[in-house]
Amino acid sequence: MNRAEDYYDKSEGELDLTWEDVEKAAAEIIIRMNENGFVPDVIISIARSGLIPAALVSYALGNKELYTIKIDFSKVQKAGKDQELRHRPKISQELSRDVEGLKVLVIDEMAVSGSTLRVVRAYLEMKDPADVKYAVLYKQPWSQFEPDYYGVQTPMWPVFPWKRLKKK
């Protein structure tokens, strides 16, 4: 299984999510962080997909230190899992914040193959943070990256409420 598309094809149907589902998944991440005593100095959203989950967690934690890094896996965004994908994700916007010596929480909406999170991990290792934890709202069981925190594990393809709004 070398191609990213193979991971998307494993999904067992779609899971149509509500805003309440998303909030519950974000709350689960926060509960697990509290249980582990992890309090981030900085939150990093993986744009574009992680922007809304990161904002939810940022507000809930009262942490305004929210920054983005943009990773592109999709060549062109299409509905659901029908996407044109690059062989590997690439960084198209670097982090604007120095994280040396800081505790960092990286947030994305989901872990499918884990490729995006692996790229971010390699990138952040060069930035010398004190600690980095990774969180996703939804994790697929075959992801080759195990986030520290996730809201829900599912073999289904999550369809997030912010992806349903279409231009008319």
Domain boundaries, the chain: 4-162
- The rounded distance, in Å, linking the Cα atoms of 23 and 151 is 9
CA angle 21, 95, 150 (to 5 degrees): 25
Indicate the DSSP class of residue 97.
S
Name the amino acid, one letter, at 50: G
Confidence of residue 1 (pLDDT cuts 50, 70, 90): very low
When the candidates are 3.40.50.2020, 3.10.20.30, 1.10.3720.10, 3.40.50.920, the CATH number that belongs to 4-162 is 3.40.50.2020
- The rounded distance, in Å, linking the Cα atoms of 142 and 43 is 26
Confidence of residue 160 (pLDDT cuts 50, 70, 90): very high
- The rounded distance, in Å, linking the Cα atoms of 56 and 39 is 15
CB of 55 closer than 8 Å to CB of 64: no
Q: Which residue has the higher pLDDT, 71 or 73?
A: 71
Listed residue (67, 53, 62) closest to 19, CA to CA = 53
| Start-to-end C-alpha separation, the chain | 38
Name the amino acid, one letter, at 156: M
Confidence of residue 12 (pLDDT cuts 50, 70, 90): confident
Q: What is the pTM of this model?
A: 0.87
pLDDT in tens, 82-101: 555 656 777 878 889 999 99
% pLDDT > 70, the chain: 85
Q: Is 137 exposed, middle or buried (0-12, 13-18, 19+ CB in 10 A)?
A: buried
